[in-house]
């Protein structure tokens, strides 16, 4: 447990206290989402754990995502009735119980046998938005059924536009109201930590999947019935002309995922996107060493009131979520925390992770005098370490 990045970051007596603690055996025993990490580590297969844990290069951007929150301070307001806190959030016509949502993560059956279905049921139970990955191990139709309403769909646009169009048509036919085109990982990545930590003998992996985790088309249900001969699941040639072509065939809301600068935010709006998703792929795309919480303000400033902005990357606490909302995000995604919950306890673990995040957010909203999400503003945070 002492090897965990978050334990190392704690330092001092606090870290020592964690090192001596027991691994939780029941999701009800978790005091924070961090409690699920080691519990999942004990249950998830070594190769799958290494794949999920890894960032790219030196994993510096994973650490930066967490460190960024240390440079955003809360400015609480007092004497507001905290019994009236309402976390409900509306996105594209649908209201959710809170602005916390579940990010798309590929191949969730790698962490628990029910995979995306267990996640969907937990999300349904907590009134939470779920975004489904293109590399899902369960088809979108079944996930929508388990969730009780259509989820958002994250799109890796394949190298064939014809295949891309088939995916879009299937997703739209299933009722998904939003497609989020991912643009921050079109060329692959240098997952060094994964390569170092994965089992040396990978022959046993053949009983679970072909090739590296997440690489086999046969295990990815969204490609069923599609001839993928000569087609790659991602398109390194993707450009703004491709975006224009995609925009013409997508009839639902279209978001762009992986934007971190004002320049690209401006381009995204000019090319007709309905929303912007600030993300660095959880530190798994490019080693930028820049947190998403630090990238968020310039994207929000560029977007203005024209399109909504959502964000993910390193969120572990309700205070983290509050800070992003104060800086202009409309919703905040979590990834690894719910995978920890899934790997450790299945649906019950995911449910408890959402419960903790929502509970912490409600607490900080009450403490900071914000009775609704709309009342969380830039005035509620200070960023003295940031250059204006």
Buried-state track 187-225, b at ≥16 Cβ within 10 A, e below 16: eebebebbeeebeeeeeebeeebeeebbeebebbbbbee
Phi, psi (deg, nearest 5) at residue 158: -65, 170
Active site residue 271: no
Catalytic residue among 48, 147, 209, 281: 281
Q: Which long-range contacts (CB under 8 A, 24 or more apart) does 77-81 make?
A: 77/368, 77/369, 77/370, 77/380, 78/369, 79/369, 80/366, 80/369, 80/370, 80/371, 81/371
Q: Are 378 and 369 in contact (CB under 8 A)?
A: no
H helix intervals, the chain: 5-10, 12-19, 35-41, 46-53, 60-67, 115-125, 140-147, 161-174, 192-197, 240-249, 262-270, 292-303, 318-326, 336-345, 347-367
Residue 97's DSSP bridge partners are none
Active-site positions read 281
């Amino acid at each position: 447990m002492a090897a965990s990045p978050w334990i190392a970051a704690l330092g001092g007596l606090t870290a020592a206290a964690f090192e001596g603690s027991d691994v939780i055996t029941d999701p009800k025993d978790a005091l924070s989402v961090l409690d699920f990490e080691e519990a999942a580590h004990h249950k998830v297969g070594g190769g799958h754990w290494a794949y999920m844990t890894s960032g790219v290069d030196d994993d510096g951007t994973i650490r930066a995502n967490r460190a960024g929150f240390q440079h955003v301070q809360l400015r609480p307001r007092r004497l507001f009735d905290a019994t009236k806190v309402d976390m409900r959030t509306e996105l594209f016509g649908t209201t959710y119980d809170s602005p916390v949502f579940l990010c798309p993560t590929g191949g969730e059956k790698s962490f628990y046998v029910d995979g995306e279905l267990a996640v969907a049921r937990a999300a349904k139970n907590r009134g939470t938005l779920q975004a489904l990955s293109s590399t899902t191990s369960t088809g979108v139709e079944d996930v929508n059924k388990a969730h009780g309403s259509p989820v958002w769909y994250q799109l890796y646009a394949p190298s064939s536009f014809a295949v891309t169009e088939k995916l879009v048509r299937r997703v739209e036919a299933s009722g998904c109201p939003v497609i989020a085109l991912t643009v921050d990982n079109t060329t692959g990545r240098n997952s060094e930590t994964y390569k170092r930590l994965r089992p040396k003998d990978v022959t046993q992996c053949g009983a679970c999947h072909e090739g590296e985790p997440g690489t086999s088309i046969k295990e990815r249900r969204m490609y069923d019935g599609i001839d993928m001969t000569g087609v790659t699941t991602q398109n390194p040639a993707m450009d703004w002309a491709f975006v224009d072509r995609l925009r013409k065939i997508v009839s639902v809301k279209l978001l762009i995922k992986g934007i971190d600068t004002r320049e690209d935010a401006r381009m995204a709006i000019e090319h007709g996107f309905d929303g912007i998703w600030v993300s660095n792929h959880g530190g798994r795309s490019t080693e930028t060493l820049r947190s998403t919480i630090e990238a968020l303000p310039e994207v929000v400033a560029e977007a203005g009131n024209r399109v909504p902005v959502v964000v993910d990357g390193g969120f572990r606490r309700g205070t983290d979520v509050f800070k992003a909302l104060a800086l202009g995000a409309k919703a905040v995604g979590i990834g690894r925390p719910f995978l920890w919950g899934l790997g450790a306890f299945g649906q019950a673990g995911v449910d408890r992770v959402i419960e903790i995040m929502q509970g912490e957010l409600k607490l900080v909203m009450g403490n900071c005098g914000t009775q609704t999400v709309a009342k969380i503003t830039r005035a509620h945070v200070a960023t003295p370490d940031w250059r204006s």
